[in-house]
Structure 1
Amino acid sequence: MKRIFGALKAYPFALFCLAVFALLVVLALLAPWITPQNPYDNAAVDFFDASLPPGTEAGTGEFIYLLGTDALGRDLYSAILYGLRITLLVAGSASLIALCVGVLAGLVAAYAGGWADTIIMRLVDIKLGFPTILVALTVMAVVGTGLGNLIFALAFAQWPYYARTTRSAALVEVSQEYIEAARSLELPPWRILMRHLLPNSISPILVVLTLQLAHAVAIEASLSFLGLGTSIEEPSLGLLIANGSREILSGHTWQLIWPGVALVLLIFSVNVFGDRFRRVLNPKEA
């Protein structure tokens, strides 16, 4: 890891993007303590303060709406940070589940070979023949809306990317002498996979994780924008953008702009860092 971060010093903008992403994560985690209002608590929301422009003082006089309010009277600054929590929770959970399933499938396909490899990779090929968002939309249509179903849909749509990458990296290692030695010692297959094969195949998997995390954020926002994601009581950034887009003709542009800026910063920072991370691990692609 020290070597990787040393190599990343050649890409200062990538480190800046990593810092931006880390800042967004910290702000999301600290949202209950650094926001003046819980936007999900109806008792704390004053509907008479709906659609107030940025810098307006709250009706109670306790604080100022730094970014204005939305059509429901919620402090937009608070709603964005709470929405960021939902977006990161959904995208992060889905990415981790997809990572675990895909990595396990890829390792088994590379190590076992034969019919196991054929079945797993044919399933991967079938899935990769369709756009990820289309697969997620289909799953959501079957299982319904809700936070848990949204995480499941994203994980189901993304695991093949991890499986294919893992299999490709593991195939190079399977023919190495240390794997043959582990087999000759009759070590359990799970131990060979987890203790020997996975650690030596981890680099490209980490690159896919960074890029697919940004992809998961974008898909979650798209599904929420279409009304198939999070509930209106606990909106993510995508749903906040959807709500703000309905206020454009009324001139309340801040309701769309600020959630959009937060979403763009999140996706852009992860994508740029992931791209530079890929170049560090594989300089031939630079």
Structure 2
Amino acid sequence: MKIRKNKTFQKAIHNKSVVIGTIMVLAVILIALLAPFLSPYDLDLMNMENALQPPSGEHLFGTDQYGRDLMTRIFYGARISLIVGFVSVFFSMVIGVLVGLIAGYYGGWIDNLIGRIIDVFLSFPVLLLAIALVAVLGGGTVSVIISLCLVSWTQYARVVRSSVLVIREEEYVLAARTFGASNFRILFKYVIPNALAPIIVVATLGIGTAIVSEATLSFMGLGVQPPTPSWGYALSFGLRYMRTAAHMATIPGLAIMFTVLGFNLLGNGIRDITDPRMVN
């Protein structure tokens, strides 16, 4: 096991996608955590005389329509994006993994029933379903997280189910069952650890998707509500000033792109180093 872990680590540090993605993700996380120390101004400090100022030495990212420092708003907005991304993916993963384990391990009518439920969820466009759920639940961070959980768990359920269908037929699982191991022990000692790699890949890529979804909902006015800083809302409002203050839309857009690209690179890299079909 130790040799395998060291081999995986060696593959990770030599994988450009993993290295670059990790650096980008860690940079965004550090900015979010250290926002109060890195931000030169108060979050909601308004100065109408400095409204719509372009990037300068005093305001590196410029100012918004209320004269607030845009860099400060972007740094604090990273917190909202990461909270929505990590929390929604965590709960989606918990729900999806449990459902996938039950469907794949027990099979039969249980698998068929869960499969039909998943098909129903997948029959709706993800974003459209999220918009409908947010409209019912109302705007706000919590509503966005709940909505994304309800539309994203199916990805984990399908991946886990596929993995479990193979793992449950392995010799070590059959041996454990022969020696009287309970289903609970088999699932959590043998099945889940061996299905962990694809779960991690889907979760890493899912964080980037959740960040884009949150930004999209906020862009439409259905997500995080002002005055809470949100990259999607900042981008939406900035589009009104594209001709006179292009930085208001460009900078939030670049923040979203940088963060999502980082998670996608990391997820693709993890997929490459954990895929047994890759050449060692």
Range of TM-score over shorter length: over 0.9
RMSD of aligned Cα (Å):
1.7
Shift of 1:203: 0.8
> For residue 47 of structure 1, what is the amino acid of its counterpart?
M
- Is 1:33 equivalent to 2:34 in the alignment? no
Using CA pairs under 8 Å that are at least 6 residues apart, name the structure with larger relative contact order, 1 or 2.
2
Q: 1:26 to 1:284 in 2, by over 3 A?
A: same
Indicate the larger mover: 121-130 or 100-109.
121-130
Q: 1:2 to 1:37 in 2, by over 3 A?
A: farther
Q: How far apart, in 1, do the equivalents of 2:245 and 2:254 lie?
A: 15
Equivalence for 1:54? 55
Equivalence for 1:8? 12
- Does the 8 Å contact 2:17/2:269 carry over to 1? no
Aligned with residue 217 of structure 2, among 223, 241, 256: 223
Q: 1:285 to 1:135 in 2, by over 3 A?
A: farther
- Deviation readout 1:91-144 (Å, 9 max, x if unpaired): 111001101100111011111112221111211122222222112112112211
Shift of 1:283: 5.2
- Deviation readout 1:144-167 (Å, 9 max, x if unpaired): 111111000011111000000011
Q: How far apart, in 1, do the equivalents of 2:206 and 2:246 lie?
A: 30
What residue ranges of structure 1 are gaps of 5+ in the alignment?
57-63
Q: How far apart, in 2, do the equivalents of 1:4 and 1:138 lie?
A: 42
- Is 1:260 equivalent to 2:267 in the alignment? no
Q: How far apart, in 2, do the equivalents of 1:192 and 1:14 lie?
A: 32
Identical residues among aligned pairs (%): 35
Equivalence for 2:174? 180
Q: How far apart, in 1, do the equivalents of 2:276 and 2:176 lie?
A: 31
Equivalence for 1:60? none
1:184-195 equivalences in 2 (<5 Å) = 184-195=178-189
What TM-score, normalized by structure 1, do the two folds share? 0.90
Shift of 1:225: 0.5
Equivalence for 2:153? 159
Q: 1:283 to 1:193 in 2, by over 3 A?
A: closer
Shift of 1:285: 6.5
2:195 partner SS = helix
How many residue pairs match? The answer is: 275
Q: How far apart, in 1, do the equivalents of 2:129 and 2:177 lie?
A: 38
Q: How far apart, in 1, do the equivalents of 2:89 and 2:278 lie?
A: 25
- Does the 8 Å contact 2:17/2:268 carry over to 1? no
1:198 partner SS = helix
Equivalence for 1:126? 120
Shift of 1:243: 1.4
Q: 1:13 to 1:278 in 2, by over 3 A?
A: closer
Equivalence for 1:61? none
What residue ranges of structure 2 are gaps of 5+ in the alignment?
none
Shift of 1:21: 1.1
What TM-score, normalized by structure 2, do the two folds share? 0.92
Equivalence for 1:196? 190
Q: 1:283 to 1:198 in 2, by over 3 A?
A: closer
